[in-house]
A and B are shown apart, each in its own frame.
Chain A
């Protein structure tokens, strides 16, 4: 019985190549300019910290972070668009922050589109603050969009 209930709670585990179908499916539905499957394979090979968020045995989101010395860079954090707005992003970000802390990271950086209000709200609530702008960093149709650079010290 408790196992039946437990399964429905979100839990994070390391991503494997077997998860890439589910991951790329979410990536394509979540972003206008999704990463290719090849990029995810490279991330697993480096290896970056690649984590999968699961519920009831299915992938609901994932995050990828590179760590060097005492700095971490959150490269991707993504939830199934159908499940956004339910606290899963905060859950996954907490998990990545804990992994960074375990590895004695002092500061986490990330870039985000200024148009991504949900992501900005998530990062602000988690204690990230804006430290800079990368001009015309992202593709956005015929034009380009800036990236906001956020950071959080641990």
Chain B
């Protein structure tokens, strides 16, 4: 079924059923997943270093990745979405149930809020690039483990390298921890411009939209972070003056 048909069905509120790629259901209890991984562990793996792949090869590589146990519980990988020449990169946490079903990051209520936050900056989802720290859904929507974010790190690093964004917005602790290699909480990391990688790309940390839904009083701080990020990114391309 193509994306348009899926979108039509979704607009009518009809769930689109599709054959699952394997017999383990998404959200399966972890022991079952681990057992399966153990069975696969000795399968021969000959994979090219992600740091040399282009966008399409990288996406294909992610979709077939079995580097950590999370792959066994996913419906599909959530690679990322948006313009591959975007100025803004938004980095979230890991796919939730909806994201896992649709293959797109930030599709639920938190996604709607993220869209509103981007619109406040005059940006649409199609203009920015949105990726997660981890590309597969962790079971029971738990946070990804450090070992899992480590497994996924070469993919996000390569995405950042290919994109070369003018600003990275890390939403939530998982993304901040991964990109800044720190254990500091979001509350201490937000409100300042950090830098990421050899290219020293400006990076701003802010609250995850899901947190803002629970704590609306944090919204003013999040907006200040977005304005800070907008200043660090410079004027948008094609703006007058």
Contact = CB atoms under 8 A, between A and B. Distances in A.
Interface of A: 1, 4-10, 55-58, 60, 80-88, 116-119, 121-122
B224 to A, nearest CB: 7
A118 B223 contact: no
A86 B219 contact: no
Given A4-B113, A58-B224, A121 B122 contact: no
Contacts of A58: 220, 223-224, 227
Given A4-B212, A8-B119, A55-B120, A121 B223 contact: no
Interface string B145-178: 0000000000000000000000000000000000
Contacts of A88: 122
A5 B112 contact: yes
29 contacts: A1-B112, A4-B212, A4-B213, A4-B216, A4-B219, A5-B113, A5-B115, A6-B116, A8-B116, A9-B116, A9-B120, A56-B117, A56-B223, A58-B224, A58-B227, A80-B227, A82-B227, A82-B228, A84-B239, A85-B239, A85-B240, A85-B241, A86-B121, A86-B230, A88-B122, A116-B241, A117-B241, A118-B240, A118-B241
B98 to A, nearest CB: 15
B181 interface: no
Contacts of B109: 1
A60 B241 CA distance: 19
Contact of A82 (B113, B119, B231): B231
A83 B223 contact: no
Contact of B230 (A6, A56, A83, A122): A83
B33 interface: no
Contacts of B119: 8-9
B240 A56 contact: no
Nearest to A122: B240
A81 B241 CA distance: 12
A58 B216 CA distance: 14
A84 B239 CA distance: 8
A11 to B, nearest CB: 11
